Amino acid sequence: MIRVSRRAFLMSPVAMRLLRAQEPRDTTFSADVRVVSLFATVRDKDGKIIRDLTQQDFALDEDGRAQTIRYFSRESNLPLTLGLLVDTSGSMRRVLGEERIASYRFLDKMLIEKDQAFVIHFDRDVELLQDVTSSRRKLEDALRDLEQTETPRRGGGGYRGRGGRRGGGGTSLYDSILLASDEIMNKQTGRKAIILLTDGVDNGSRVPLARAVEAAQHADTLVYGIHIADPDANGNNFGRRRGAYGRGAPPPYVYGDRIDGKKVLQRLCQPTGGNWFEVSTKEPIETIYSELQDELRNQYSLGYTPDAAASRGYRRIHLTVKRDRATVQTRDGYYAS
């Protein structure tokens, strides 16, 4: 089993470069962008996935300039790499069993042919339980380990994680996305998606939400969030934050000293082209996984070469379809040099 501690991760060159940036900055790729690839999900007015569109049904612009779609497919045969990121903080302890069983069933159904997956858990630390693999057995073992990552210390007083680290002191959601994107997804090709199982509360990361989104966008990775929470924890799905926001106003997902986990997931997922779901009595996690599987297997794959006059830095993408009241779900832009 491969386990990477958050401390070791945060000492990596990639993380240190990000942590040195104290103010928002314009980050660019070091390599020229030749082809931009998009994966899009299209839904009708009732929210049902539309599967019969053609290339001519789509219109695309970048920073307001029309672009020519040169590559199009309704069914992509590209390999899929899935990253399962599971919140194991104290507020999630009582729902871990439900997460583990449903997650293995999902991976077992979802992964075919050359597809592969990895498993990360996060609480105060971020830990890679299983590196990228196509082995069902290894993934099952990693998921089984989720419920053993923190166990109460005899005599009371907190938790001790595996390898002697202390847990129960915060949740490093944003750090886990950055680790998965920079250290794993950047090395993969084909389709890439991160699935978060969390209540959306982060009160321990060294990097902010914007950096986590930026890392996923750089890695061309879709982020999907599954909001699952213990109703008796975090004050009815709101978690307490730590620290202050300096002279600036707190983000719109912060109310006083509390964090709205649902809004956090929305702001994490939508810019990457992903989506978020909420576990409830009417929509249990098994149903959400079925919907997610349907979405990932029914995406349109589009590609285009940006025009030479495009500006450096972040480029905004606007994709529409010629279908009445249809909505398009795709990433809203990318970084380029």
Domains and CATH numbers, the chain: 6-14+87-149+159-296 (3.40.50.410), 36-67+304-336 (no CATH)
* Highest mean pLDDT of the ranges 3-12, 155-164, 189-198: 189-198
Residue 76 pairs in a beta bridge with none
pTM of the model: 0.81
Q: What is the pLDDT of residue 166?
A: 37
Q: Is the pLDDT of residue 103 over 50?
A: yes
Q: What is the pLDDT of residue 185?
A: 98
Q: Tell me the pLDDT of the chain averaged across its residues.
A: 81
Q: What is the pLDDT of residue 307?
A: 81
The larger pLDDT score, comparing residue 255 to residue 110, is at 110
Task: Give the DSSP H/E element, type plus range, for residue 116.
Answer: strand 116-122
Q: What is the pLDDT of residue 25?
A: 41
Closest CA to 200 of 92, 332, 83: 92
DSSP state, 310? P
Q: What is the pLDDT of residue 282?
A: 93
Residues with Cβ < 8 Å from 214, sequence gap 6 or more?
A: 27, 335
Alpha-carbon gap, residue 205 to 225, rounded angstroms: 18
The larger pLDDT score, comparing residue 43 to residue 312, is at 43
The larger pLDDT score, comparing residue 149 to residue 117, is at 117
Give tens-digit pLDDT for 150-186.
Answer: 533 323 332 233 333 333 457 899 999 999 999 999 9
Crossing angle of the two packed helices 96-110 and 285-296, in degrees rounded to 10: 30
Q: Which two tokens stand for residue 310?
A: 């495009």
Q: What is the mean pLDDT of residues 76-82?
A: 86
Q: Among all chains, which residue has been given the structure tokens 């979802």? A: 110
Q: Which two tokens stand for residue 47?
A: 């929210």
Q: What is the mean pLDDT of residues 189-216?
A: 94
The larger pLDDT score, comparing residue 18 to residue 192, is at 192
Q: Which two tokens stand for residue 32?
A: 């020229």
Q: Is the pLDDT of residue 40 over 50?
A: yes
Task: Give the DSSP H/E element, type plus range, for residue 303.
Answer: strand 300-304
Alpha-carbon gap, residue 303 to 247, rounded angstroms: 42
Residues 258, 241 contacting (CB under 8 angstroms):
yes
Closest CA to 243 of 232, 254, 233: 254
Q: What is the mean pLDDT of residues 74-101?
A: 87
Torsion sign across C-alpha atoms 83, 89, 91, 93: positive
Q: What is the pLDDT of residue 164?
A: 32
**Residue 156 phi, psi (nearest 5):** 80, 175
Give tens-digit pLDDT for 235-286.
Answer: 444 444 444 444 455 565 555 557 788 999 999 999 999 999 999 999 999 9
Residues 170, 123 contacting (CB under 8 angstroms):
yes
**Residue 304 phi, psi (nearest 5):** -150, 160
Q: What is the mean pLDDT of residues 110-134?
A: 94
The larger pLDDT score, comparing residue 121 to residue 26, is at 121
Q: What is the pLDDT of residue 20?
A: 46
Q: What is the pLDDT of residue 247?
A: 47
Residues 79, 310 contacting (CB under 8 angstroms):
no
Q: What is the pLDDT of residue 29?
A: 38
